[in-house]
Amino acid sequence: MKRITLILAIILGALTTASAQKIGYINTETILNKIPAYKTAQGQLERLRDQYQKEIETGYQKIEALYTTYQNDKVLLTEDMKKRREDEIINREKEVKDLQLKYFGQDGALTKKSEELLKPIQDRVMSAVKEVAADDGYAIILDAANNPSMIFTNPRYDISDKVIGKLGYK
């Protein structure tokens, strides 16, 4: 019985302490959309992605043309010629897949460019969030943009405008 009372006292104490903490939230999408450098970086990344995608699509179109030509000429080719054409198609397909991985893979060029352009902006936002949290005594700040479990948020606790102001934007 004493053990249960002790556990209840600890839980009650933790809840009392937790309820005294200030909690706020931000919406990083709202904040980032107020930063002109972010919009510029997003535009650059979209153009680069479109360029890479066009290059990949062109590669696949060339493979499709090779395959169609092969299918049309297949009856006229010797076994050795068929094998060479099949190998050429397979090699071209591998080259395009490798190029696709080089551009769009986890460590691909687009990911690296995204980190290069966006990380400094994200770091500035994070610094501003930390400053607002320290200045106003927030214990926890959540991100509504990246948190699907936030079903309801009271705008009273949204500190996005404070962060935007700390960054020097309106």
Q: pLDDT tens digits for 35-91?
A: 999 999 999 999 999 999 999 999 999 999 999 999 999 999 999 999 999 999 999
Position 134 in a domain? yes
Mean pLDDT to the nearest integer, 142-159: 81
Mean pLDDT of 19-23: 75
In a domain, 51, yes or no: yes
Q: State yes or no: pLDDT of 120 exceeds 50.
A: yes
The answer to whether the beta carbons of residues 139 and 21 sit under 8 Å apart is yes
4 part of a folded domain: no
10 in a structural domain: no
Which pLDDT score is estimated for 144?
86
58, part of any domain: yes
| Beta carbons of 22 and 137 less than 8 angstroms apart | yes
Cα–Cα distance measured from residue 157 to residue 169, given in angstroms and rounded to the nearest whole number: 20
The domain tally of the chain equals: 1
Q: Measured between alpha carbons, how far is 166 from 159 in angstroms, rounded to an integer?
A: 11
Instruction: Establish if 9 belongs to a structural domain.
Output: no
154 HSE (CA, 13 A, CB side): 4
Decide if 160 is inside a domain. yes
Per-residue confidence band for 13, with pLDDT thresholds at 50, 70 and 90 = low
The CA distance from 48 to 45, in Å, is 5
Contacts of residues 40-44 at CB distance under 8 Å and 24 or more positions apart, as own/partner, are 41/117, 41/118, 41/121, 44/113, 44/117
Residue 140: domain span = 22-167
- Confidence (pLDDT) at 9: 47
Considering the domain boundaries, does residue 44 fall inside one?
A: yes
